[in-house]
């Protein structure tokens, strides 16, 4: 079975467990984005998902897929916040322990939320996601447990992207385009594989931060940038390199890979709160930022769904952003 077929099969098989333990999030029309683009722009509100991001879906799928005896020994992962929090929460649903390794520069609010989910937090003696993941894999034996990648895992892709896509097309099959934030590529890979299976005419776009453009550079260079030197960005959830499998799936199934500017990401974050009345984090603002930048070209008259991927923004950062825009 090839990777795409496996993701489709896992979406169907693990989907019921994801549905039982997460929430079916809203599709909401964005008035300001619709007016800006002369299009019908809707938001898939994964910021309202359990643990505050779409990552809850993939965490449940990964644990449901795991052999119970292996799962009982605990799980280990590396995260800049959302995946770690989701995996810690999901581990609690299955009565096991999650050990989450974070880089030294993890956002304080995200580290606190991992602890609040009773995850065992380990701070790697390095900065940046890529270095922290490498450290995690080097020390996996002493950390104890099965490693669960934040993005390069078929069950995670099926949960995060596959089940989200099925909810979108079930509620509104008329979209022309799905636009998602992209870091390692786990979300957009699952979305795009299921989109092709459900509606081959449905375009999928991946939006990278200009300050962490791993998937954009990978497509440009036709090679997977597994490690990348990212610059500081409000979209900290997409920091780091891509997964090799994710890159191959993006190359085959994703039509557009674009960049969003830091300035537009910060503006979009505030506009989601003030215009859409929805709490948002930096990574979630990337799709709207791409529309502000015009990175997707002429989208007039289209029906577009943006994945509003999370809401776990540090309060101090949010106060700074509001001050910038007022």
**70 pLDDT above the threshold of 80:** yes
pLDDT value of position 314: 78
Across the range 251-270, mean pLDDT stands at 97
pLDDT bucket at 199, cuts 50 / 70 / 90: very high
Topology (CATH) of 3-53+153-325? Rossmann fold (3.40.50)
Local confidence band at 81 (pLDDT 50, 70, 90 cut-offs): confident
State mean pLDDT over 97-117.
90
More confident residue, 320 or 82: 82
Q: Average pLDDT, stretch 5-21? A: 97
Residue 242 has φ and ψ, to the nearest 5°, of -100, 165
- Alpha helices (runs of H) in the chain, residue ranges in sequence order: 3-21, 31-37, 55-65, 68-72, 82-93, 108-116, 129-138, 140-143, 154-157, 163-171, 186-198, 214-221, 244-253, 262-276, 286-293, 315-325
Phi, psi of 207 (to 5 degrees): -115, 120
Over range 256-275, report the average pLDDT: 96
pLDDT above 80: residue 322: no
Mean pLDDT of 198-216: 97
pTM score: 0.95
Return the domain boundaries, the chain. Answer: 3-53+153-325, 56-147
In the prediction, which pLDDT does 8 show? 98
Contacts of 190 by beta carbon, 8 Å cutoff, 6+ apart = 7, 11, 156, 157, 158, 159, 160, 161, 162, 164, 165
Residue 105: pLDDT band with limits 50, 70, 90: confident
pLDDT at 110: 85
Cα–Cα distance measured from residue 326 to residue 322, given in angstroms and rounded to the nearest whole number? 6
Asked whether residue 318 carries a pLDDT value surpassing 80, the answer given is no
Handedness of CA 215, 217, 222, 223 (dihedral sign): negative
What pLDDT was estimated at residue 1?
A: 72
Rounded distance between C-alpha atoms, residue 289 and residue 253, angstroms: 22
Is 70 exceeded by the pLDDT of residue 48?
A: yes
Residue 326 has pLDDT above 70, yes or no: no
| Residue ranges in 241-306 assigned as alpha helix (H) | 244-253, 262-276, 286-293
Which pair of tokens denotes residue 279?
């709490």
Q: How large is the average pLDDT for residues 98-106?
A: 93
pLDDT at 260: 98
Q: What is the mean pLDDT of the chain?
A: 95
Instruction: Return the percentage of the chain with pLDDT > 90, whole number.
Output: 89
Q: Would you give the DSSP letter of residue 66?
A: S
* Edge-first strand listing for the sheet containing 177-181: 27-29, 40-45, 303-308, 177-181, 203-209, 256-260
Query: Do residues 103 and 126 lie in contact, with contact meaning Cβ atoms separated by under 8 Å?
Result: yes
Intrachain domains 3-53+153-325 and 56-147 with the same fold: yes
Range 56-147 classified under CATH 3.40.50.1100:
yes
User: What's the rounded mean pLDDT across residues 175-197?
Assistant: 98
Q: Which of 320, 313, 264 is nearest to 292 (CA)?
A: 264
Q: Is 306's pLDDT higher than 80?
A: yes
| Mean of pLDDT values over 139-161 | 96
The tokens describing 282, both together, are: 């930096």
In the predicted structure, residue 325 carries a pLDDT above the cut 70:
no
Please report the DSSP string for 94-109 in residue order: TT--EEEEE-TT--HH
Token look-up 């215009």 returns 275
pLDDT of 227 > 90? The answer is yes
């Amino acid at each position: 079975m090839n990777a795409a077929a496996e993701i489709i099969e896992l979406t169907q098989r693990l989907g019921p467990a994801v549905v039982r333990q997460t929430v079916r999030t809203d599709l909401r029309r964005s008035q300001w984005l619709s007016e800006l683009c002369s299009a019908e722009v809707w938001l898939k509100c994964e910021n309202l998902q359990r643990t505050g991001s779409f990552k809850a879906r993939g965490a449940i799928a990964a644990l449901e897929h795991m052999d119970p005896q292996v799962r009982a020994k605990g799980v280990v992962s590396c995260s800049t916040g959302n995946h770690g929090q989701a995996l810690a929460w999901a581990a609690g649903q299955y009565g096991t322990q999650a050990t989450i390794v974070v880089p030294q520069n993890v956002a304080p609010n995200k580290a606190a939320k991992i602890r609040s989910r009773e995850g065992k937090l380990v701070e790697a003696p390095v900065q940046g996601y890529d270095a922290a993941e490498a450290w995690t894999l080097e020390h996996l034996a002493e950390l104890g447990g099965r490693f669960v990648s934040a993005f390069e895992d078929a069950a995670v892709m099926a949960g995060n992207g596959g089940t989200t896509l099925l909810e979108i097309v079930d509620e509104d099959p008329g979209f022309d385009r799905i636009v998602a934030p992209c870091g390692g590529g786990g979300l957009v890979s699952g979305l795009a594989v299921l989109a092709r299976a459900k509606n081959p005419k449905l375009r999928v776009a991946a939006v990278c931060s200009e300050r962490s453009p791993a998937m954009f550079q990978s497509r440009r260079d036709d090679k997977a940038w597994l490690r990348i030197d990212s610059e500081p960005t409000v979209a900290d959830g997409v920091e780091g390199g891509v997964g090799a499998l994710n890159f191959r799936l993006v190359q085959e199934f994703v039509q557009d890979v674009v960049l969003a500017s830091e300035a537009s990401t910060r503006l979009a974050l505030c506009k989601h709160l003030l215009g859409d009345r929805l709490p948002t984090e930096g990574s979630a603002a990337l799709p709207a930022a791409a529309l502000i930048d015009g990175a997707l070209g002429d989208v007039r008259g289209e029906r577009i769904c943006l994945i509003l991927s999370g809401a776990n923004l540090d309060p101090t950062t949010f106060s700074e952003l509001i001050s910038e825009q007022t």
